[in-house]
Chains A and B, each alone.
Chain A
Amino acid sequence: MATTSTTPTPLPLPSSSISTPAQSSTTQSSTFTFPTYTHFPPLYTVQPNLQTRARQLDLWSSLILSYTAHHHIFRLSLSTPPADLFTNPPRTRTLKPSDIRIVLDHMALQTPSRIEWLPPSTKGEKMGNTCWVYWKTLAEWADVLYGWVEETGQKGAVLTVYELREGDAVMGREWVGMDEGMLRKVLGVLVKRGKAQVFGQQEGEGVKFF
């Protein structure tokens, strides 16, 4: 009964299990309810006290993950962040882009990683300002994808990456809209597990599931 948990509370992730297409399409259209702490003005100022800041970054991390999961956002860009995510409802406080970077850097260092920076698109820049958001971790995505393969009896079949991303068979599936690069990473996880094999050239690349 009395289990003392010293570990911090796990981040409240939305729908950890595989949601059906019907569910995901309805949640997509409904409005996202922001947690009450988004009304708290200091949330938008990076806290000077490190202990407090750690807590603040966790709150942001959980907010960003549930927001992106709700809206099916796979990629965040610092230059065009979602308008309502980093500004509080009365629009008096905004998390500055440099502070957003602090939050995202924190998420990149979480285990497992919750975001991944993409290399800068223009050569001159040192830091990229776009990242993939893993509201499901790569391992979780791998489970979802493999679950679908099993469910639809396609083990042993060869599918193209294009089919996995945009084919009719995957319509309404959760990963639709995912960047090709991110999907490749998910496939990479499955390859490592010995559950898939990727072959062929960039164009017309094929994946075989075991």
Chain B
Amino acid sequence: MASSRRGVGLNAFSNAAISSDQYARHGAALRSTHADALANQLSVFQAALHNFSLTHAKDIRSNPTFRAEFARMCNAIGVDPLAGSNVKGAAGAGGKSVWAKMLGSSVNDFYFELAVRVVEVCRETRSENGGMIALSEVRKRIEKGRGLVGGGMEVTDDDIERALESLEPLGGMFKTTTLGSNKFIRSVPKELNPDQSTVLEVIQILGHVTVSMLQDNLGWEGARAIAVIDDLVADSLVWVDSQAEETEYWSPASMHEGG
């Protein structure tokens, strides 16, 4: 090699320059073939994904497990199936809705449609639950449909969360929050303070609370417990049962579960 043989005379300098130049050129060639290969692979992959989504569009729309797998696959390779229409696609080429074009618009449509249903359910039940509804309850209601022929949709909790994400450009009115072990959709843009969240969490676990339960378990002053509960009642987030020994406060989430 040039460095080990170290030539003599002035020529050695130009030799070294030439060989390093050659190395650089070779390196560039290697890089570009590599890039070409990658680009080629990507386009093959895109085509495959396109074909896949076209041939399986029906499955993606109708089979929740299949859809979840598909969504997970897209996620793993850094592709958001929802991003297509409102954000520049991950692949970037062409600027707009690369993925919408690639996936056909069926996947997007599916989530938009679902989002509309979710909004409907949230609005319908708002007087009952003050705009706070369990994700699972929303799913049940959507699966049941509106009592019309073919109204029901088979969806998963995951689908609903994705659908909600697709509403983000509208101002994020619908947010999911976790209380205890359950996820809830908050469709009224009011923030809960920490005390309110705590009480709601307790209600999730026990089904209901009383002022003295809060005093005993959380060590709160009576006034604090009463204030928090009054707020929750005012926001129609809890229902009052005054026929128990001590007035109980229930979450409307348990209303349709029986028992």
Contact = CB atoms under 8 A, between A and B. Distances in A.
Interface of A: 1-2, 4-6, 8-9, 36-37, 39-45, 47-49, 51-52, 54-56, 92-94
Interface stretch (B1-9, B42-50, B166-174, B235-243): B235-243
Interface in B99-137: 112-113, 116, 119-120, 123-124, 127-128, 130
Contacts, number: 72
Interface of B: 112-113, 116, 119-120, 123-124, 127-128, 130, 146, 208, 233-234, 236, 239-244, 248, 250, 252, 254-259
11 contacts: A4-B120, A8-B124, A36-B256, A36-B258, A39-B259, A43-B255, A45-B242, A47-B239, A48-B240, A49-B233, A52-B130
B127 A54 contact: yes
4 closest A-B pairs by CB: A42-B239, A36-B258, A55-B127, A42-B241
A4 B118 CA distance: 10
Given A37-B256, A41-B250, A51-B236, A93 B243 contact: yes
A2 B146 CA distance: 12
Contacts of B255: 36-37, 40, 43
Contacts of A43: 239, 255
Contacts of B113: 1-2
A92 B130 CA distance: 26
B233 A48 contact: yes
Contact of B258 (A5, A39, A41, A42): A39
B250 A49 contact: no
Secondary structure at the B interface, as helix, strand, loop or mixed, is mixed
A172 B145 CA distance: 35
A41 B233 contact: no
Given A51-B127, A55-B127, A94-B243, 15 more contacts: A4-B120, A8-B124, A9-B124, A36-B255, A40-B239, A40-B254, A41-B248, A43-B239, A44-B241, A45-B242, A48-B233, A49-B233, A49-B236, A55-B128, A93-B241
A6 B243 contact: no
Contact of B241 (A1, A4, A45, A54): A45
B202 to A, nearest CB: 16
Contacts of A44: 241, 243
A44 B248 CA distance: 12
A41 B120 contact: no
Contacts of A40: 239, 250, 252, 254-255
Contacts of B248: 41-42
A122 B259 CA distance: 43
Given A36-B256, A40-B254, A52 B243 contact: no
Which of A4, A8, A47, A55: most chain B CB closer than 10 A? A55
B244 A41 contact: yes
Nearest to A38: B258
Given A36-B258, A37-B255, A37-B256, A52 B236 contact: yes
A52 B239 contact: yes
Contacts of A55: 127-128
Contacts of A42: 239-241, 248, 250
B233 to A, nearest CB: 5
B40 to A, nearest CB: 40
Contacts of B234: 49
Contacts of A8: 124, 127
Contacts of A9: 124, 146
